[in-house]
Amino acid sequence: MSDLVLSLKNASIYQRESLILSDVNVEVTKGDFVYLIGKTGTGKSSFMKTLYGDIPLQKGEGSIVDFDLSTLKENQIPFLRRKLGIVFQDFKLLNDRTVKDNLVFVLKATGWTDQKAMDSKIDNVLDKVGMKTKGIKFPYQLSGGEQQRIAIARALLNDPELILADEPTGNLDPQTSVEVMEVLRDINKNGNTILMATHDYALLLKYPSKTLKCEGSKVFEVVQRKG
């Protein structure tokens, strides 16, 4: 059993007809925390969307959590996404449901039926993000940072093999960004693999980790200078 969670070889990423990234070679191993950085418009989002099946991989090889991206069929995408935890910049919480009901909704949608098991899982993920007492609140009653923690809890529900966080601090102020980052770091220390797209360079300096950069239609690893 390979420890590779994500592998792209000579992959080209297109948004419809336009080539966004070419000759991408990336490996992410179980337990990694990897940043994906780059200016707006350099292909970070297209890269992420390719990983969760929103954009087909048209050229090259790609595998993610044991799914082959180059042959991925429409009907496999829900199964792929169950093995991924996806955290978006804009939380994507349902405002007309409590935090707990938001999480129940996802569990039911992914095939859970046992109420006790669902309750226990929800307690567990809320605890992991420090939001155990907030299950009865509605998203609009929470701060942006709290909503993002709930979004992270939601991403953890199905014990994902890889968490894709797309600008998870993009809508948050610097202090809140640090708090959300701490949550992601803790989750990573507990064994979750995380790939996080960000343009927040302050976080990279504060929490250095393996970093991939999108620039000039390429993705390459940035070697961080020590000291």
Q: Which CATH number applies to 4-222: 3.40.50.300, 3.40.1450.10, 3.10.129.10, 3.10.250.10?
A: 3.40.50.300
User: What pLDDT, in 10s, does the model give residues 149-206?
Assistant: 999 999 999 999 999 999 999 999 999 999 999 999 999 999 999 999 998 889 999 9
Residue spans of the domains in the chain: they are: 4-222
**224 has a pLDDT exceeding 80:** no
Q: Which of 184, 183, 186 is nearest to 197 (CA)?
A: 184
Confidence of residue 225 (pLDDT cuts 50, 70, 90): low
Which of these, 1, 15, 40, 13, lies nearest to 215 by C-alpha position? 40
The 10s digit of each residue's pLDDT in 71-108 is 999 999 989 998 999 998 888 999 999 999 999 999 99
Supply the DSSP symbol for 142. Answer: S
Q: What pLDDT was estimated at residue 40?
A: 84
By the 8 A CB rule, do 122 and 103 touch? yes
Average confidence score pLDDT of the chain: 93
What pLDDT score was predicted for residue 105? 95
- Residue 194's Cα: distance from chain center in Å? 7
**What pLDDT is attached to residue 18?**
92
Long-range contacts of 125-131 (CB under 8 A, 24+ apart): 125/153, 125/154, 125/156, 125/157, 126/99, 126/150, 126/153, 128/153, 128/156, 128/183, 128/186, 128/187, 128/190, 129/153, 129/156, 129/183, 129/187, 130/183, 131/99
Beta carbons within 10 angstroms of residue 181's beta carbon: 21
Strands 59-64 and 4-15: antiparallel
